[in-house]
Amino acid sequence: MTTPYVCKLDAATQEKALKELNEDPKNRQGAIDTFRKWILEQKHFKSPTDNIFLLAFLRARKFSQLEARRMLENFLKRREKLNVWFKDLDPADDKISHVIDDGVVLVLPGRDSESRKVFVFNVGNIDMSEKKYTKNDAFRLFVTVLDYLYLCDEMTQVHGTVTVIDFSHMTFAHQTKITLEDRKNFLGTWQKNYPARIKGVHLYNLGSFMEFIMMIVKMAMSEKVQKRIVVHAHGLESLYKYIPEKMLPDEYLADDYTGSTGGSQKQMIDQLKDDFRKPEIRDRIRHLSSREFHIDMKQKDSSVPEASFRKLAVD
């Protein structure tokens, strides 16, 4: 029997969830149970059904049952299609650890003024020599971080994330080996087929070539996400208007800055590795990415109409 949900969110977060996500404490357990019942009735897929997992989709779709169902199916289809990125993830795997060591993804400590988690994706730090890992391992780390933030952390489900994509140190190898298809799959997974609240995307040090590539890639992005993209082309000063300096790595701060910081990149790397070794985090991510969970749309019963549920504007 599934354990009833016990809310551990603080009062301010619960208020935000009610106001922005239509998460009414009086109806929340019923919404979870309805969603779970529908999942267990489906013959064409098998999915996790724990409370935190289901809440990620309900919150991402403002508690619209119909929209949450659609997102879950798309989520599972994407994981099936790109199984090289999504299946059998192990946060403590040696290859994942090597990618972390290169500073490809930095999860900044704390939260910003709106309680959002901030992380930095250093594309140019991916080692394209593929001596210790492949580019797919780098994308596997990114997916692992998303699972860590959204499928393990309720605060992030409600408040969302802000991402800095740093294109510094990009080389010709990055531009050619990370294909346009890779970029589309990466962005398509993140902003369309994942229960993420993307509250801001900051592109730093793009360069003319990457500006051209991003212009093409943005065509596949929703208008909502496009409006949340900010390009920082002339130094980091403009980034400080959006990301608190006290959260950023020392390496991203001006020489004359004397306030508190998030620590060095090395400290953030070590912290992420420590977090990924915690049994409750490692075991959960390994469980969620298990091949036990799958989907086969050919087995979907098309004769059964989708139930009619209220459709809400999606943030």
- Residue 313 confidence class, pLDDT cut points 50, 70, 90: very low
Q: 0.85 cut: is pTM over it? A: yes
Q: What is the pLDDT of residues 192-226, one digit of tens each?
A: 789 999 999 898 887 654 555 555 555 556 666 66
124 and 171 in contact (C-beta within 8 Å)? yes
pLDDT of residue 72 exceeding 70, the answer is yes
Instruction: Enumerate the domain spans of the chain.
Output: 11-85+288-299, 91-280
pLDDT tens across 139-177, in order?
999 999 999 999 999 999 999 999 999 988 888 898 889
Banded pLDDT at 312 (limits 50, 70, 90): very low
Tokens standing for 279?
A: 């049994």
Cα 116 to Cα 48, 126, 129, 197, 226: the distances in Å are: 25, 26, 34, 10, 19
Residues 6 or more apart whose CB falls under 8 angstroms from that of 95 comprise 132, 133, 134, 137, 140
Residues 6+ apart with CB under 8 A from 147: 89, 285, 288, 289
For 155, phi then psi, to 5°, come to -60, -40
CATH architecture observed for domain 91-280: 3-Layer(aba) Sandwich (3.40)
d(CA 235, CA 271): 27
